[in-house]
Amino acid sequence: MNPDVVAAIARLSREGTLSSEQAALFSRVARRELVSVRVEIRALLYLGVLLLTSGVGIFVAEHHADIGRWAIAASIAVASSACLAWVIRSAPPFSWGEVESPSVAFDYVLLLGLLLFASDLAYVEAQFTLLGPRWVHHLLVVASVYVVASYRWDSRVVLSLGLSTLAAWRGVSVSVMAHSLGAGGAGALRVNAVMLGLLYVIAAVLSVRLDRKAHFEEIFGNAGLLLLFGGLVSGVMLSDLGWGTWLVALLVLAAAVMWISFRVGRPAYFAQAVLAAYVGLVRLVMVPFSGQSTGLPLLLAALLGVGALVLVFVAYKRMPGR
């Protein structure tokens, strides 16, 4: 029970601000006589999908020799098709606008179907070598299917998975269970991250400009900026040669993102830009003192932090729709 809200509802009802019907409903919720279990159902579905896909993976790895390649590939395909058939049957018609999910489970059954499809494709590729030496491109196929499915069935979750799989195809993984910026050449990975980030940011802009799934803009935008700033900050911090060029690029981009996000009212973009610029500038103030045991660079970093705080306060005050 939320006693403050319960008391307020009683007062607002007495004063005639709320009708008796409104007060009765709001009071039930505030007294916990009516509780939503939407989050709990979503959590159960997410865990279920996680366990199922892991179980399928381990089963296939342990028993592929006993059961046979065709049988395994066919059974995963059947399971995936069953999930996707359910999705197709219950999906509302396509629209370029935002479409409400028909149920809480819809997104997760779609996710399960697509993950099983991806597992099946990976297994088929591993066993039958369809793509030959270009086998890593199966991730591109999977990512494309995810993105198309996210548009058809209006799923932010599937879109985010599609974008992260596309990044994985280019060697950059956001998975907490895998290496981010894996063992490939760091320079090439950085360039991949920046290019992919740019592509996502362009997609974010286009989705709003063309009014095609405009609500996907946040997913595209945040993923794109994460990759862009991640790549540039990694260039500033980890690259011994030419870090100055990376820093200039980082600061220019951060300033542009701050300005645009300030104008269109996107605090998450603004925050990423401020943090990335701060990290880049800290490297700049540290470099002249490298090898010296002095507190001056840290003092400068603290002063930069104060400057960033002032910027944050000013931006908050003036940002529209913050």
Partner 1 sequence: MRRQSIAWERAAEVRDAADGWRRAGAIGAPTHEAIKNAYPDPCVTPSAVWRVLTAVMVTAVVLCSFGAFALAIRPREVGLSLLLWLFGGACVVATERLEGSLRLARRGAAGAAAFWGIVLFLGGLGQLLHEIRAISGEDALRLFLLTSALTWAAACWRWGSPLFAGLSVASVFVLLAQVPFGRTLWIVVGAVLVGVAARHLDDGALAPSHRRAAMVVLLVAVAAMYVALNSYSLDQDLLHELRPLAPQRVVPSTVLFAGAAVATALLPLGVLAWGWRSRRPVLLDAGIVLVALSLVTLRYYVHVAPLWAVLLVSGAALVALALAVERALRRVPGGEQAGFTTDALFSDDRGQRVLQVVAVAGTLTPAAAAAASAEKGFVPGGGASGGAGASDRF
Which positions from 130 through 169 interact with partner 1, judged by CB under 8 A? 135-136, 138-139, 142, 156-157, 160-161, 163-165, 167-169
Residue 176 near partner 1 by CB under 8 A: yes
- Per residue, the 3-state secondary structure of 150-193, as one string, reads HHHCCCHHHHHHHHHHHHHHCCCCCCCCCCCCCCCCHHHHHHHH
Closest separation in Å from C-beta 48 to partner 1: 3
Closest separation in Å from C-beta 14 to partner 1: 11
Rg (CA), the chain: 25
Residue 85 near partner 1 by CB under 8 A: no
Which of 180, 239 has the CB closer to partner 1? 180
Which of 164, 207 has the CB closer to partner 1? 164
The residue ranges of DSSP E strands in 42-121, in sequence order, are none
CA distance 212 to 97: 7
User: Counting beta carbons within 10 angstroms of the beta carbon of residue 85, is it exposed (0 to 12), middle (13 to 18) or buried (19 or more)?
Assistant: exposed
Residue 111 near partner 1 by CB under 8 A: yes
Closest separation in Å from C-beta 143 to partner 1: 9
CA distance 191 to 308: 28
CA distance 9 to 37: 23
Task: Name the token pair of 206.
Answer: 């286009």
Residue 245 near partner 1 by CB under 8 A: no
Q: How many residues bind partner 1 (CB under 8 A)?
A: 124
Give the interface segment with partner 1, choosing from 17-25, 205-213, 237-245, 247-255 (CB under 8 A): 17-25
CA distance 77 to 20: 55
Residue 36 near partner 1 by CB under 8 A: yes
Closest separation in Å from C-beta 178 to partner 1: 4
Give the interface segment with partner 1, choosing from 29-37, 92-100, 200-208, 236-244 (CB under 8 A): 29-37
CA distance 116 to 303: 51
Which single residue is written with the structure tokens 């149920």?
Answer: 103
Residue 203 near partner 1 by CB under 8 A: no
Q: Which of 10, 13, 57, 187 binds partner 1 (CB under 8 A)?
A: 57
